[in-house]
Amino acid sequence: MIMKIGLTGSKGFIGQHLAKALKENKKVELLGCDLPKADLLRIASLAKFAAKQDVIIHAAAVNRGSNTAVIAGSVVVTYNLLSALKKSQSRAKIVYLSSIRAENDSPYGLSKRLTEVMLENYSREQKVPVVVLRLTNVFGEDCRPFYNSVVATFCHQVAHDKKLTVKNGQRKVNFIYIEDAVKAVLKEVFQPRKQLFYLKKTTSGNEITVGDLAKLIKSFPKIKNSGGLKQKFHKNLYKTYLSHNKNL
């Protein structure tokens, strides 16, 4: 039986990798929802998309920009999506890609936390399964510098022989590689849970200070291949660096 899966933010960093993995699954029919074909700030743009799915992976978000843009990218878009689902009487399961930053009080963090509350209320009221994944800092190939991750920023700067600016060098950060993040998301897509609403923090064993991360990435131009790197985490960082250095 074919499972119909809708993916918002299908052209974003995580969305692209999810789409690639889902397209390789012959038992999945994937429908992406993103600009320019769909304006997620308009309910009308979401109507057909919302009505046809068995599962919706909600990955659309605005990570940088004005407070208004960031809040609209999470809260307004999700409100519109839920409104479209209600209107179509959809029973689609929702897997929402939240962020570990939902635990802080930045505009982005607050918008993510409010979106989680909206989804929990929707799940309780509509009796529809909703999974919220609070992803830690995701990095990997196709990650945008100065937008998605400090890893992408450092890799871009080193690959283009730019000076790294390290702030809060002693701060420890947990990173998750994009392939591992995709596996975690797809597990929740296909795995049924007993509870209607489920929130999970999705982390990894990859913890490093910002200062040590900068030092490690600065060493990559001297490395010819990843064979000399012992840790899988370091090898994945090196692959990310290579994706920013088109000359290698």
pLDDT in tens, 3-58: 999 999 999 999 999 999 999 999 999 999 887 777 787 888 888 888 889 999 99
Query: What residue numbers bound the domain in which 90 lies?
Result: 3-244
Model pLDDT, residue 247? 52
- Check residue 230 and report its DSSP letter: -
Tokens, residue 34: 């993103």
The upper half-sphere exposure of residue 239, i.e. CA atoms within 13 Å in the direction of its Cβ, equals: 14
State the sign of the Cα–Cα–Cα–Cα dihedral 47, 49, 53, 55: negative
Is pTM beyond 0.95? Reply is no
Instruction: Count up the domains in the chain and report the number.
Output: 1
Structural contact between residues 119 and 78, judged by C-beta atoms closer than 8 angstroms: yes
Task: Give the CATH number for residue 59.
Answer: 3.40.50.720
